[in-house]
Structure 1
């Protein structure tokens, strides 16, 4: 319909109305005022662009300079640390070699009886600078000339010496052949500036020998320059163990010893390999890059913001209602394309606003016609489709559903659109599109509270059983005239009362009084949330849906009441005639049989005369209930009038009808009916029923003929003593040529027409075409072949049939 397509323009009309309203004189925005607003009171767009460009350019420059400086420093420290480690290893090796040499010299002197001669040879060969022999008491018995002064530092000592070290020595015990100690032999090598210089030459680093005092440390001998000696000594005092530290002037310092095998307290240092002036060069490069970046950024920002200022001024004029504003296109870049798009937008908006303004009243008229149309039709599915499609078009939703409350209090989707792929993946293919219990999830809560809801929800938080979405809006609708739900914000008045079911813990939520269903929409186009305008629009469509659904249900209820008996709930005589015609046509079309039972309560007038009409009505209602409990779901039961009833048994032969008649008679006869007589006195009545049976097409060519035949059989049962059933005699073959009928519709000779392959031989003692006696009918029916309604359970439910 053309008016449905116009619903998409509702939101645009509202915006167009605002555009067509001109600002009053004196309220227009001038270009200069816009420039001031565009530039801002604190930071202009040009300043922001300049700052952004500087951040983009100077950021990498600063990071690069920092990276270069840190990398150079790290590489320099690594190399210096490695040099110091190699030098420390070299010092340990040199001192250890010297100590081994002194030990060999001392051993040679100790093994020779002539200690003086051996000591002279050791000194002359340079194996030791001095040899000293002592007795057990420690007195010197022999010493080579020119021995260094005490104290001598033993090579095996691992603790710091207290005082200066003048020589390194190795002491060897002196024993006689029996192993008795005679004294000791010590070989020594002086530790002097020459010794320290040799260590510096071997290691390639500056070496300083401390005097051994704990604190403060003093220099005994060193190869350091005079200008850095104090700095190296201060740095060495801050180092624990053999860690590497750095002085203020860029030298790396490490302590070595004293330790086992190297008892001298030494300090090693190397100068930094970092190029001089590197940091200054990096700072200068960064400053130069910053100046260049500022100049370029200012120029680019100025060129970029000038067309934006013009465009912003044009936007302000359009907002003021001047849709004839145009922006000059100065280039073909993005700004130029933006200006061209703005010019096209203003032209199209002007024409569109004119069209929408002229069609606004027409659209309102179409909405009124739409409401009248939806309220007047009785095709519920068509109504719901039109309402849902119109609501989706008006709000810009991607999907939606109309859910109605069923008899079990569950919301069931009657009409959906766009829900493919949104329902839970574990639903079976044949399941209903959407079923939501009242009070569960978003839709169930709306139905329970009667309050509309809208909002945004994460796909992972969508309630179980509801469509996956990001935004939603749901509006309940109730029957016209139902009490509206309490508005939010009423405080204690809107809370559940203590006596209400909803106030009891664990009580199932109930739908709002008069509630019919919920209209829900999902995922508005553009990923925006549904707003209050959408909510008001959806309330309008929900109102139409409520009126339409109520009209349809009222129409269906009126139709049901016109076809049912109000006392017994069975179908009435009007529906009997329609059903008889339909079942006869079906039997003709498929070559099947149709059995008709005419039932009449025996001596029912005495019940009314004795106990009153209320008791008679109770008997009729109970009789109808028992009839419904004994027939199949496809069978139809009717109240023809008074105490007369009719039952139609589709696809049932005479034998099956006899079995049903026998079962109905027993159901009425075996259990008395309790009623209230005059004055409310309880009375138990024994009621019986007489039944006449006729079968189409054996007992009549039309539905009315079969009904008349069943009525004749009923009177035959009455004449036979009541509380029994009779089958009407087979009608004689008319003196006309008939069309052959399939074997399934041929009655056997025993008088019971039934489905079969051909006529059966007559029963013993019964003439062909003569009905079986009443007394033999129950046993014969129970022992006869199964067919039609002769076997199987029968659902106790009355339906309309097909």
Structure 2
């Protein structure tokens, strides 16, 4: 004689059967003719109508299950049930005479073929929407009819052994094992170093312990009223967001329940889950609501619900601790972070690089992934994007935004920053969100120095659909206050460099002038003395320039001079320094170059000048443009800067005196009695 099932927990019976892999696709229930469903254990499939779940195709379709249960209660063999759409299952009366009004029901699988003709008639006759039904059927496990027969027979043979008193011992072992797992997982949750690590461990634990196919977690962001919903197990990562008001309302509607099962509320408040039901586990630490765990299409049995509540509570405690630590770190480290960010800006040399760094630093500080920095143009009427993040750079930098137009233009015109939670509902903007932006929250603030507007900085797209807050605006204002001073410093340095450059450049040729030449030669003398190096100075002058000016005019002479400068620059090496000695003469400094190595450079310059074409040059004595060149080397030809320049000038004069269009290399008095020596001529 079998023990009465009243002495055995019906949930335990279903749990023990669930351990067999061949029963995994089915949702199980124990049905009493007097009480209805007395226990359920759901899988990816679902129960219909009379079994307490929302029907797949409408609450009115109960006939297949009613017929199967009625027949099963009257017989002692498994009864296969099939609905017209193609759903399959079986019912087995419990093998105990005193419990002849109770059945085991397995349901929630389907055949590989769906009866589309029947679905069409349902849509036509009953007004049922076919596409949601097809989606639901598509998510159900596929099991063919012969496999259902085989599974039903196996369960029928196994069922008596699962109604014995030994079931208590088996389930006790299972419970102890799960409890030990929960203890171990709780310890790991306490050691979680980040929010993501805690959520990942919690989701993995639920998936394994409770055989969940899908899991979603909602967590609060910087704004405690917005909760981002993320798929963490078998669901898309981004599932939108909900609000603290919704979560508190759900808790209030299920008083005393730590893991209520949501039916109609699931579709109402969590539409992105696309599930008819879900188990709702609040993540509460004391009185603070940190979020929730959602288990679509799962109804936890009391024992599993208790274990899930333990894990959820432990995870919530750790999440709160991590959030408090993060807030404390942010509060205590903010001054140091701002100082570090400012110091990093000070190392940047150009304003263009600084613009990019200011934007990226602001985005990093607030956790934004998209943004732009716009500067007011010289007219003061338009904004131009000088740096962008997460936008098409070519398109963004070609745009001009008039002050007073658009969001950024209005911020520039009014000087008032704006923080928006939802661009589509905020009355200050009330516009459709553009597709290139992932979220609807943004922050836009003027970038100013004192009362002078410099530009506008905009940020959007926080991870996890987080929104921007007034606290973000305060942080951004502090950062921009530091950034504007660094920017002013960089602009001043660039202006100083520009003035220094102008003071060192000959406006006629755009070469370094005589003042710069004297200073640079002196520096090279000092460097070469310290490091025991040689260097060479090359002096170049265009032949018969005054005669050419008198023949062809001053404008032609100026053009010829510019061509000569270009020829010298092309012929010189990258390391060489080309300067203007006077209006007709040019000097090239060849650092670290001995006299023999300088000669090829001089030859290139002479050849390049001889190839120049200029109108009227054939009237010159040589019939063309040409150049005379003199060379002097340190230290052989001069131990001071002035002596070296004089030696190069002497060699140049000797080249001109010797017939022009030639190179003369100066040699020291110790070798030649102080006379220059010609080394190359035409």
Normalised by the size of structure 1, how large is the TM-score?
Answer: 0.33
The higher-RCO structure (CA 8 Å, 6+ apart) is 1
Q: Tell me which structure has the larger Cα radius of gyration.
A: 1
What TM-score do the two structures reach when normalised by structure 2? 0.38
More strand, by proportion: 2
